[in-house]
Each structure stands twice: as structure tokens, then as C-alpha cells.
Amino acid sequence: MRALFFILLLVGVQGFGQPVFTSADMPAVGDRFVEYFVDTLVGTPITTGGLGANQIWDFANLSIRNNDPIESIYVNPALTRYANEFSNSNLCQYLRETYNYYESTVNDYGYLGSGRGGGVEIFSNSIIYFTLPFTYNSINIDNFNGTNIFRQDTAYIFGTTKIIGDAYGTLILPSGT
């Protein structure tokens, strides 16, 4: 769900025509994002909508819950608590006591892992969210693996992500188009 929200956010920012996402469109040190929870039982239900070019996603009547916004701050990873575990990271998202580490290059945008409290999640083969440039009809399939270590326990993580640029168009939110 977080990836979908991020993609919708990017689509809403792009403007007109078929969007082409490059490294300049990815988060950078100093960026701040605020996420709000929505009530899907009141107002407009959320569906993925249609596929293809020039779609319209109208969520103007969406019921936003302003009582618990989540703020993400993107910082220099070298200045964070878990910098030593993520030496390849050039971007860190601080989100509710969690540090999420990314590597953002001109060729891709990937997730390296996270640190929080007594544990770390480290991907030896990172999750590549976007191979750049990413546009309509782009497909990114990526295999990942890593470990999640919390105190004395270790869990092994592996899987595949598939992200498809299957539509573009206009996103209408309560705050505007």
C-alpha cells in the first residue's frame, strides 16, 4: 500500500502528458512528506481504477483523517544511528522512530533496509523499486533477500517485487488536482 501511495503521489505531482520518472523525481535529502490515513468506509471508496493512458482517478470526496498524520523526513544517512550497517546508502527516510535506507542513482531507486530500536533489517540483495527512467508500460521485476535481526532472533527474508507502469492520468484529491 505504501508503494501505491508513493506512485499516486508522484503521478499527482507530474503535470501533463505521459510522465517519465527519473532520479530527479525520487526523494532527496531535505524532502518532507506528510501521509494521512483515509476512511474508506466514508466518502469515495478506493479502487485501483482503469488501465491505460489519460485515466482520471477522482478521490475528491475522500474522507481524510487529519488526527494522525505521518511525517517522513529524508536525511543524510551518514548522520544516522545505523549508518555503519548501510554504508551504500545515500538517502535515509526517518519515519516514526524508524530509519529506512535507500540507494538512489540515475539508474534505479532501491531499498537497502531499516533500523529501529533493538533491530535491523538488512537486504544483501536490495529491493529495487524503480529502474529509471520509469514510465508508462515500464515493468520492473526484482528478486531480493536479506535478514531481519531483532535482539537474539534472526529471520530470513526473500521475495520478488513487480512494479508495472500500467496507467497515467489525472489524480483528483480533496486538496485539488
pLDDT in tens, 34-44: 998 887 777 66
pLDDT top residue among 47 and 90: 90
Is 70 exceeded by the pLDDT of residue 141? yes
Full-model pTM: 0.84
Residue 138: inside a domain, yes or no? yes
Alpha-helical segments (H) within the chain: 2-14
How many domains does one find in the chain?
A: 1
**Which helix (H) or strand (E) segment is 63 a member of?**
strand 63-75
Please, what is the Cα angle at 80 between 156 and 32, to 5 degrees? 100
Q: What are phi and psi of 16, to 5 degrees?
A: -105, 160
pLDDT recorded at residue 49: 82
Closest by Cα among 70, 54, 72, 60 to 11:
54
Average pLDDT over residues 114-137: 95
Burial letters for 107-117: b for 16+ Cβ neighbours within 10 Å, e otherwise?
ebbbbbbbbbe
Is 80 exceeded by the pLDDT of residue 4? no
Residue 144: inside a domain, yes or no? yes
pLDDT top residue among 105 and 151: 105
Residue 66: inside a domain, yes or no? yes
Is 50 exceeded by the pLDDT of residue 1? no
Residue 148: inside a domain, yes or no? yes
pLDDT top residue among 14 and 80: 80
SS3 39: strand
Residue 80: inside a domain, yes or no? yes
Please, what is the Cα angle at 72 between 126 and 90, to 5 degrees? 40
Residue 177: inside a domain, yes or no? no
Residue 35: inside a domain, yes or no? yes
Domain span at 36: 2-172
Residue 119: inside a domain, yes or no? yes
pLDDT recorded at residue 64: 81
pLDDT in tens, 56-110: 988 888 888 777 889 999 999 999 999 999 999 999 999 999 999 999 999 999 9
Rounded to the nearest integer, the mean pLDDT of the chain is 88
d(CA 39, CA 151): 36
